[in-house]
Amino acid sequence: MSDAILVVGAGVAGINCALNAARYGLKVFLVDDTPSIGGMMARLDKTFPTNDCSICIEAPQMYEVDNHPNIEVLTNTSVKKVKAVAGGFDVKLATQPRYVDEEACTACGACVAACPVSVPDELDGKVGGTRKLISIPFPQAVPNVMAIDPACRSGQMRAQGACVGGCAVDCSQCRECPIALCVQACRKEGKDAIRLWQGPASRGVAVRGIVVATGIRDARPPAGLYGYGVHQNVVTYTQFERLMNAGGPTAGRIVRPSDDAHAHRIAWIQCAGRGLAGGVPYCSKVCCMVAAKQAIITKEHDAAVQTIVFHNELKAYGKGFWDFQQKARQLGTRYVRARPYDVVENPATRNLIIRCEDIDSGRLLVEEVELLVLSTGLQPSDRNEKLARVLGIDLDEHGFFKEKDPLLAPLETKVPGIFLCGGATGPIDISESVVQATAAALKAILSGRAGRVESAP
């Protein structure tokens, strides 16, 4: 039987699953289909309910994963094929090129300075962050090396006129781009780490068990919801998280996208889009706490900023959560139980005028704020459908992975030997993700033991 397991998705759940199994003595293949491990936590500022800094607690784990002799980290990698065999699975993994030699690149940044093309950073959304076409996802990324956006290599950027060269051939055919400034810069630094001709690679691994930890993504608001996408100063809670973050695009200054001015009056709308077409239909569990966190941190940055949270049901389901929400109140955050109707922009100030019904009093409320944050909830990874097909396991109606029997066999799927943890199971916070990840590690360790494995459908 193989002494290895495969963990798909390297957010905090996948990382903790891998660490437990590796410390136990198993070999772990930890794959993520983005250029760095870390998942959502790598984007967060502080984390409820204790407000310790997210990257401070996650980065040491990321480095440990990277340096652990039992763990092989495969980024830009996805699961292509899975076959159940006696004692486990044969898995085919496909790695997309990052166009940079992982061993040779030292993350010196010379190429980044040289690259002429900036695009909006998907991490930061519209709050002002940009990145170059060659970039590192975030400073603590693991592996700590650059990656070139496939948009550059496919010639897409040239088609958009972003490239200076007048080459006749298609970029993707070209082995040695004469105008690739990054290559020149890298060579000038005495390195030669860029591999414009890198192609996809695939490899097979044999494992005894598989843990799916593909996590969550923040839901995008339905078009036009409360002025999102129409008015510049309406942002999502993930974008706001980036604004607060000292490592984010504004170095932690909470400013408005429209004019980069300090926001003095900020509102949150909870359950934004919930139940609407294009919104999430379920409670995402964490948003009430995220809003409390964001309000607290906003107040800590500047106690004079006014903060209002428009909410319906308020959840405080975990240890210390209630006290945390009370702290937000004590710091002066106004909690209003309200049903928002609409949001219009004051064209002169770019402020937002929120009209809503105060549920407790039944009265119409009108509030004007400088920045509006939409708590839109959590959605499953958009790659789940594909992965479910490859693994032969089911998704629930929302696109999260389905447990075979949550009550009697938690974290197990219908295929013996394949387990779930973290956001892959549904909306979840960090602590619960770590609990499940720890449990799933043991499940995977125990799977494939004599007589346990039946063949997958």
Partner 1 sequence: MSPDARIGVFVCDCGSNIASVVDVPAVVEYARGLPGVAFADEGRWSCSVDYLARLKEAIRAHALNRVVIASCTPRTHEPLFKASVREAGLNPYLLEFVSIREQVSWVHRDLPAAATQKARDLVKMGVAKAALLEEGAEIRLAVQQDCLVIGGGAAGMTAALHVADQGFHALLVEREPRLGGLLNRVAAVAHDGRSLPAGEIAAQLAERVTSHPRITLRTGAVIDALAGYIGNYQVTLRPAGDPEGARETFAASTIIVATGMQELLPAGRYGYGADARVLTQLELEERLRNGAVPRSGDAVMILCVDSKNEQRGCCAIGCQVAVKNARALREQGAAERVHVLYRDLSMLKGEHSEVEAAKQAGVRFLRFPDERYPALEERAGRLVVRVHDLLLGRELLLPADLLVLTPPFRGDETVQEIKGLLKVSASADGFFQEAHVKLGPLDFPSDGTSLCGCARGPKTLKESCEEGIGAAMRVSIPMQRGFVEAAGIVAGIDLSECEHCGQCARKCPYGAIRLDEDKTPSVLQALCKGCGLCAADCPTSSINIVHYTDAQLLAQVEAALEEDAAHKILGFVCHWCALGGVDMAGVSRLQYPPHARLIRVMCSARVPIKLIERAYELGAGGVLVAGCEFPPCHYITGNYACEKRMQRAKKQLAKKGYDPEKLWNIWCSAADGPKFARAMHDMVERLGLAREVGADGR
State the nearest-atom distance from the C-beta of 397 to ligand FAD, in Å.
19
| CA-wise closest residue to 141 among 128, 131, 155 | 131
With CB under 6 A as the contact rule, the residue among 23, 191, 301, 452 that binds ligand SF4 is 191
Show the tokens assigned to 49.
Answer: 């309910």
Q: Is position 110 an interface residue for partner 1 (rule: CB under 8 A)?
A: yes
Q: Is position 113 an interface residue for partner 1 (rule: CB under 8 A)?
A: no
Q: Is position 290 an interface residue for ligand SF4 (rule: CB under 6 A)?
A: no
Task: Map residues 305-324 to x or -, x wherever contact with ligand FAD holds by CB under 6 A.
Answer: --------------------
The CA-atom distances, in angstroms, between 360 and each of 69, 310, 354, 413 are 58, 12, 17, 44
The rounded distance, in Å, linking the Cα atoms of 356 and 384 is: 36
Whether 359 contacts 338, CB under 8 Å: yes
Q: Output b/e per residue, 24-54; b: 16+ Cβ within 10 A.
A: eebbbbbbbbbbbbbbbbbbbbbbbbeeeeb
Residue 362 CB burial class (10 angstroms; 0-12, 13-18, ≥19): exposed
- DSSP, res 125: T
Q: Which helix (H) or strand (E) holds 225?
A: none
Show the tokens assigned to 276.
Answer: 């609407």
Residue showing tokens 């940044």: 109
- SS3 breakdown of the chain: % helix, strand, coil, rounded to 5? 25, 25, 45
| Partners of 95 in the β-ladder | 77, 201
Contacts of 417 (CB under 8 A, 6+ apart): 84, 88, 89, 208, 209, 210, 444, 447, 448, 452, 453, 456
Name which of ligand FAD, partner 1, ligand SF4, none residue 111 binds, using a CB cut-off of 5 to 8 Å depending on partner kind: ligand SF4
Nearest CB to ligand FAD, comparing residues 133 and 287: 287
The rounded distance, in Å, linking the Cα atoms of 399 and 384 is: 7
Contacts (CB under 6 A) with ligand FAD, residues 208-237:
213-216, 218, 237
User: Alpha carbon 303 to chain centroid distance?
Assistant: 29
Q: Is position 365 an interface residue for partner 1 (rule: CB under 8 A)?
A: no
Contacts (CB under 8 A) with partner 1, residues 185-244:
189-191
Q: Is position 110 an interface residue for ligand SF4 (rule: CB under 6 A)?
A: yes
- Backbone phi, psi, residue 123, to 5°: -65, -35
For the chain, what is the radius of gyration of the CA atoms?
A: 23
Nearest CB to ligand SF4, comparing residues 53 and 167: 167
Task: Map residues 92-131 to x or -, x wherever contact with ligand FAD holds by CB under 6 A.
Answer: ----------------------------------------
Q: Is position 134 an interface residue for ligand FAD (rule: CB under 6 A)?
A: no
With CB under 8 A as the contact rule, the residue among 54, 294, 376, 381 that binds partner 1 is 54
Q: Is position 184 an interface residue for partner 1 (rule: CB under 8 A)?
A: no
Q: Is position 44 an interface residue for ligand FAD (rule: CB under 6 A)?
A: yes
With CB under 8 A as the contact rule, the residue among 211, 213, 415, 434 that binds partner 1 is 434
With CB under 6 A as the contact rule, the residue among 1, 108, 344, 439 that binds ligand SF4 is 108
Nearest CB to ligand FAD, comparing residues 241 and 412: 241
Contacts (CB under 6 A) with ligand SF4, residues 145-164:
146, 148, 152
The rounded distance, in Å, linking the Cα atoms of 425 and 48 is: 20
Q: Is position 266 an interface residue for ligand FAD (rule: CB under 6 A)?
A: no
Number of residues this chain uses to bind partner 1 (CB under 8 A): 80
Task: Map residues 269-308 to x or -, x wherever contact with partner 1 holds by CB under 8 A.
Answer: ------------xxx-x-----------------------
Nearest CB to partner 1, comparing residues 51 and 258: 51
The rounded distance, in Å, linking the Cα atoms of 292 and 331 is: 10
| CA-wise closest residue to 280 among 216, 363, 188 | 216
Contacts (CB under 6 A) with ligand SF4, residues 160-189:
177, 180-182, 185-186, 189
The rounded distance, in Å, linking the Cα atoms of 56 and 148 is: 27
Q: Is position 111 an interface residue for ligand SF4 (rule: CB under 6 A)?
A: yes
Nearest CB to ligand SF4, comparing residues 148 and 352: 148
Show the tokens assigned to 232.
Answer: 């510049």
With CB under 6 A as the contact rule, the residue among 85, 107, 435, 439 that binds ligand SF4 is 107
Contacts (CB under 8 A) with partner 1, residues 146-175:
none
Note the residues at the interface with ligand FAD (CB under 6 A): 8-14, 31-34, 39-41, 44, 47-48, 78, 213-216, 218, 237-238, 241, 286, 290, 293, 378, 381, 383, 387, 422-423, 428-431, 433
Question: Could you list the residues that contact ligand SF4 (CB under 6 A)?
Answer: 100, 105-111, 114-115, 117, 133-134, 146, 148, 152, 177, 180-182, 185-186, 189, 191, 193-194
